[in-house]
A and B are shown apart, each in its own frame.
Chain A
Amino acid sequence: MDPAHSCPVIHWLTEEACQRPDIAGGKASALARLARHAQVPPGFAVAAGADVSLPAVAREVQHAYHRLASEPDATPWVAVRSSAAGEDGAAASFAGQLDTHLGVSGADAVLEAVRAVQASAASARAAVYRQTHQPASGSMPAAVLVQRLIPADAAIVAFSRDPMQPDGYSLAIHATLGLGESLVAGSVTPDRFTVRRRDLAVLAAECGGKGSMVVPDRRGGTKTVPVPRSVAGQFSLTEAQVAEVAQLVLRLEQVQGHPVDIEAAFWQDILYLLQCRPITTAAVSRSAGGAEHREARS
């Protein structure tokens, strides 16, 4: 494929073109399509094939970051993630295979993160993954998603069908304080809610120990800090928030036409959708929770 610098480099999530996986990659195109159904943190895709070592391309990325960071009530941080084509498709639901940079701020740092994500997408680890699960899509730079980082009050993983309840009777919501890293990595015991799909009745609510939380670090990146003992004993979501998450995950299941698991975050009482994937067999087994969860993912 041709070097892409003659084509547009930046595709905002709100743009039509961003919904195309061949341009924006799997993750960004999926989010762009879902933006009509859920609040998605604003951001843009750096198109697949964009060579950021070219000064003109680099300037476009930096310019887009400045625009993102200067929007009203913006935070300076962004999350820079791989949007490689193989991801977020029905065949492969794991994120974290490729580099993710959270809490990046400043145009130079963002450019550096984009470069690093592309490099890691091309790395041997990623190559092995593609060989085993899906044919490689060539050697051109992967699409990269740059999104405003939501400094979450609570991070959420939700399954439209509770993987532990194969009868499909209920959905499951896991939540903890701070950014979702600790939840996804399985490094904390989250609060767990079991919600009946039919009427959204909360069948079970279990307060997890939480232990630690991940927050943006003013010096760059994120940091893991203890959850204060007096806060760890409280649920990280209110009843109303649990209902809101349940409604969202059911709506997305309907839109997608298959059971989904999502990553989401509450910030200033707004529910943001961060990721939406089909539930796979792998997802079911990894949802057993705790340390095994982490093993399965990394």
Chain B
Amino acid sequence: MSHRSAESDAGSLPAHPRRLDPPEDFPVTWPDPQDAELMWTHETEHSSPLVLPCHVAQRHWLADGMTAAARLYGAPLAGRRGVRINTYWYDTTLPLDAPPEDLARRAREGEALKAERGEDLARWWEERWQPELAQLLQHWAAADPDAWDDAALADWLVQSEGPFRRMWEIHFELVLCLFPTITAFGELAADLFGSDDDPISGHELLVGEGNATLQASLALWDLSRTALGHPEVLAALEERDPAAAERRLAGSAAGQAFWAAFRIWLSEYGQRPDERREALGANWDENPTVPLAMLRAHLEAPASHPLDGWRRRRAAREARTAEARQRLADYPAAVRTAFEDQLSRARYATKLVEDHNFHLDQKSFYWYRRAVLAAGQRLVQRGQLHRPEDVVFLELADIVQALAAAGDRDQLRQRVEAERAALERWASVSPPDRLGTERPSGLPTAPTPTPGPADGRWHGVPASPGVVQGRAHVAPSLAEASEVQPGDILVTVTTNPSWAPLFPVLGGLVTTVGSPLSHGAIVAREFGLPAVLAVASATAIIRTGDWLEVDGLRGTVTPIEEPG
């Protein structure tokens, strides 16, 4: 592995650097020409591909939080840098330039710390990070920006940086402990049962733990059962526009009660941004278009309760766990103890892989949106913006500056319009996965896409077992996914937890990126949904209406004839 800093000494790397030519429809102007020497990757793991100008600050804090946590755990990186290019976010990792013995010592100490926390995950989460998180959220939850003057509001925005940065540090301190914990259990299961006639895999024993996403989905399903009992509610829910639906629901007592119950659902599970491009990051409790669409999908879903399936999978998991314990019954106590300890830790980690997003990512983007909207309202009052939501087209520094001085009102409005136009322009372009200069560095890079199909099928990463045949529904974004029909196989890029409420109506899942430990894979297993991930270019090759067979155990996707 090369430990030289690509930034300080890029030219002397013992590699064969290859400049990546951006596609014709994606011309790149680097903020700093030196940046073209680095290798940049399109980041989609944390929130949507949509990066509004107001999100730039969040993205930097996120990158810094990841750097801090990774360094704490001994990773040889100097930092992570991000840059917004043509409205998309690219980031790069800067390796740490230090003597090998220093790097080795850091790695050793960091790994030990990570392992220590991983072994005590429940305590770290429940007694350390979660309480701290609750305290950090008070910065926004307890604030009353309407009561403040412009300077106090600006000050509060500036001071938001500290809590937001800390949230991202906690996020990565936690997340970086989760995956090794789950991986270690997978290895243990492979060591213990991998060569048995009937091997037991780690995933079989981890499924069915339940999580906040499942809770949200189940609660929404319950609401859909309420709606089915009231024709006037059903009729009102046919309105796609939330405001229109709300107006029609207000016309009946059942409708009013339903809306009140829906608002309660939103207050519990709606503290998250809408990642559809046209929603411009609106929070669900602000604009519930997506949850209402999901509710409608539940109305068309088969009448079995999603929990039935979950209970079946949970029972299957318990049976397999009993089988595993039986096989170990005469093993040395140290092995049985290790199995039990690592199993309970890995189950906890599996739940947190999903729940951390609910508690951290979503809350962070939710409160950030609320904070900048408060500033947007003030800028409207000051005559500097047309509408409060326009504030999302400004970077945080510009918002603070606009609050501090009575600036040129036309200038702000022009910038808003220019950014809005840019966003529309780039929406139709697919951003390349990588930009800059490719060089073998020892640091992990994205796998080279290998479009299939080979032997008549596409191969991906098996992520959730089961075989299903169904109609493909290709939906690169959540907006397109809301038209999905019950039983469809969703073909998309990746799913983050915003998508999960959709899962109960799906037949299967195919994504172009992801791993067996990604959010989508874990939720798919929770719902018993066959899933194959990392099928390169799936969204480009497969078309809505194609019929597919998805084998989530073998990791194959096969085009089939539509069943007669």
Interface residue ranges, A against B (CB under 8 Å): 75, 151-154, 177-178, 213, 215-216, 218, 225-231, 234, 236, 268
Q: Which of B184, B191, B338 has the most CB of A within 10 A?
A: B191
**A268's closest neighbor in chain B, by CB?**
B333
Inside 8 A of A225's CB, which chain B residues have their CB?
192
Minimum CB–CB distance from B115 to chain A (whole Å) comes to 10
Minimum CB–CB distance from A242 to chain B (whole Å) comes to 15
**A213's closest neighbor in chain B, by CB?**
B332
> Are the CB atoms of A228 and B188 closer together than 8 Å?
yes
Can you name 19 A-B residue pairings with CB atoms under 8 Å?
A153-B332, A154-B334, A177-B332, A213-B331, A213-B332, A216-B330, A218-B330, A225-B192, A227-B335, A228-B187, A228-B335, A228-B338, A230-B184, A230-B188, A230-B338, A230-B342, A231-B334, A231-B335, A268-B333
> Are the CB atoms of B332 and A154 closer together than 8 Å?
yes
> Are the CB atoms of B331 and A215 closer together than 8 Å?
yes
Query: Complex formed: what's the CA distance from A241 to B530 in Å?
Result: 49
Inside 8 A of B187's CB, which chain A residues have their CB?
228-230
> Are the CB atoms of A234 and B334 closer together than 8 Å?
yes
Inside 8 A of A213's CB, which chain B residues have their CB?
331-332, 335
Query: Complex formed: what's the CA distance from A178 to B330 in Å?
Result: 9
Q: Say whether, besides A228-B188, A228-B191, A229-B191, A177 and B330 are in contact (CB < 8 Å).
A: no
> Are the CB atoms of B332 and A178 closer together than 8 Å?
yes
Tell me which residues from 307 to 334 in chain B have a Cβ below 8 Å from any Cβ of chain A. 330-334
Hey, what's the 0/1 contact readout for B381-425 against A, CB within 8 Å counting as 1? 000000000000000000000000000000000000000000000
Inside 8 A of B335's CB, which chain A residues have their CB?
177, 213, 227-228, 231
**Shortest beta-carbon contacts, A-B, top 5:** A228-B191, A153-B333, A153-B332, A177-B332, A216-B330
Interface residue ranges, B against A (CB under 8 Å): 184, 187-188, 191-192, 330-335, 338, 342
Minimum CB–CB distance from B441 to chain A (whole Å) comes to 28
> Are the CB atoms of B330 and A236 closer together than 8 Å?
no
Query: Complex formed: what's the CA distance from A228 to B193 in Å?
Result: 10
Inside 8 A of B188's CB, which chain A residues have their CB?
228-230
**B192's closest neighbor in chain A, by CB?**
A228
Query: Complex formed: what's the CA distance from A236 to B335 in Å?
Result: 10
Minimum CB–CB distance from A90 to chain B (whole Å) comes to 33
Inside 8 A of A75's CB, which chain B residues have their CB?
330
Minimum CB–CB distance from B509 to chain A (whole Å) comes to 31
**B115's closest neighbor in chain A, by CB?**
A230
Query: Complex formed: what's the CA distance from A231 to B188 in Å?
Result: 9
Minimum CB–CB distance from B190 to chain A (whole Å) comes to 9
> Are the CB atoms of B334 and A177 closer together than 8 Å?
yes
Query: Complex formed: what's the CA distance from A154 to B187 in Å?
Result: 22
Inside 8 A of A178's CB, which chain B residues have their CB?
331-332
Minimum CB–CB distance from B497 to chain A (whole Å) comes to 30
Minimum CB–CB distance from B205 to chain A (whole Å) comes to 14
Q: Say whether, besides A230-B184, A230-B342, A236 and B191 are in contact (CB < 8 Å).
A: no
> Are the CB atoms of A153 and B334 closer together than 8 Å?
yes
Minimum CB–CB distance from B562 to chain A (whole Å) comes to 47
**B331's closest neighbor in chain A, by CB?**
A215
Inside 8 A of A177's CB, which chain B residues have their CB?
332, 334-335
Minimum CB–CB distance from A241 to chain B (whole Å) comes to 11
Q: A178-B331, A228-B187 given. 14 additional CB < 8 A pairs?
A: A152-B332, A153-B332, A177-B335, A178-B332, A213-B332, A215-B331, A225-B192, A228-B335, A229-B191, A230-B184, A231-B335, A234-B334, A236-B332, A236-B334
Query: Complex formed: what's the CA distance from A216 to B187 in Å?
Result: 23
Q: Which of B184, B191, B334 has the most CB of A within 10 A?
A: B334
Query: Complex formed: what's the CA distance from A231 to B331 in Å?
Result: 12
Inside 8 A of B334's CB, which chain A residues have their CB?
153-154, 177, 231, 234, 236
Inside 8 A of B192's CB, which chain A residues have their CB?
225, 228
Q: Which of B331, B332, B342 has the most CB of A within 10 A?
A: B332
Inside 8 A of A231's CB, which chain B residues have their CB?
334-335, 338
Query: Complex formed: what's the CA distance from A130 to B542 in Å?
Result: 78
Inside 8 A of B333's CB, which chain A residues have their CB?
153, 268
Inside 8 A of A226's CB, which chain B residues have their CB?
191
Inside 8 A of B332's CB, which chain A residues have their CB?
152-154, 177-178, 213, 215, 236
Inside 8 A of B342's CB, which chain A residues have their CB?
230
Inside 8 A of A268's CB, which chain B residues have their CB?
333
Minimum CB–CB distance from A265 to chain B (whole Å) comes to 10
Minimum CB–CB distance from A195 to chain B (whole Å) comes to 21
Minimum CB–CB distance from B186 to chain A (whole Å) comes to 11
Inside 8 A of A234's CB, which chain B residues have their CB?
334
Query: Complex formed: what's the CA distance from A184 to B354 in Å?
Result: 48
**B336's closest neighbor in chain A, by CB?**
A153
Inside 8 A of A218's CB, which chain B residues have their CB?
330
Query: Complex formed: what's the CA distance from A234 to B332 in Å?
Result: 13
Query: Complex formed: what's the CA distance from A280 to B181 in Å?
Result: 48
> Are the CB atoms of B338 and A215 closer together than 8 Å?
no
Query: Complex formed: what's the CA distance from A159 to B332 in Å?
Result: 23
Query: Complex formed: what's the CA distance from A151 to B335 in Å?
Result: 13
Inside 8 A of A236's CB, which chain B residues have their CB?
332, 334
**A178's closest neighbor in chain B, by CB?**
B332
Query: Complex formed: what's the CA distance from A226 to B193 in Å?
Result: 10
Minimum CB–CB distance from B185 to chain A (whole Å) comes to 9
Query: Complex formed: what's the CA distance from A213 to B192 in Å?
Result: 11
Inside 8 A of A153's CB, which chain B residues have their CB?
332-334
Query: Complex formed: what's the CA distance from A234 to B331 in Å?
Result: 16
Minimum CB–CB distance from B343 to chain A (whole Å) comes to 12
Minimum CB–CB distance from A52 to chain B (whole Å) comes to 28
Minimum CB–CB distance from B175 to chain A (whole Å) comes to 21
**B342's closest neighbor in chain A, by CB?**
A230
